[in-house]
Amino acid sequence: GDSVTQMEGPVTLSEEAFLTINCTYTATGYPSLFWYVQYPGEGLQLLLKATKADDKGSNKGFEATYRKETTSFHLEKGSVQVSDSAVYFCALASSGYALNFGKGTSLLVTP
């Protein structure tokens, strides 16, 4: 069945460091890929998405490129801020309606 694997956290970075959170997937067909973020005390929010191979999703300085050849959708940001501290979830939708989520990666950015 479909699945998403993302790197385990927690990830701790200093402010202005470069961030990469790895995400790989297994799916039949051509899934759409998503990154959701959950800030402390808040609900999950869509951060970015890509619907076909080689698409790049971007938002708030975060980027992820849909790589079909490596079945990956790694999240990157060039310079993280303390306000980026949150839990990040990679997800896919291969058909229908439900999202298939990874386990989440906790990010802590220190001043």
Partner 1 sequence: GAGVSQSPSNKVTEKGKDVELRCDPISGHTALYWYRQRLGQGLEFLIYFQGNSAPDKSGLPSDRFSAERTGESVSTLTIQRTQQEDSAVYLCASSLTRTPTYNEQFFGPGTRLTVL
**In whole angstroms, how far apart are CA 15 and each of 59, 83, 101?**
18, 10, 27
CA angle, 43 then 17 then 23, to 5°: 55
Binding string to partner 1 for residues 48 to 87, with x set by CB under 8 A, is what? Answer: -x-x------------------------------------
**One residue of 45, 81, 83, 110 binding partner 1 per CB under 8 A:** 45
Report the DSSP pairing between strands 11-14 and 105-110: parallel
CB of 96 to partner 1, least distance (A): 7
- Beta-bridge partner residues of 65: 56
**One residue of 28, 43, 69, 111 binding partner 1 per CB under 8 A:** 43
Q: Using an 8 Å Cβ cutoff, are 47 and 37 in contact? A: yes
**One residue of 28, 41, 70, 111 binding partner 1 per CB under 8 A:** 41
Residue ranges that bind partner 1, judged by CB under 8 A: 4, 32, 34, 36, 41-46, 49, 51, 89, 91, 93, 96-104
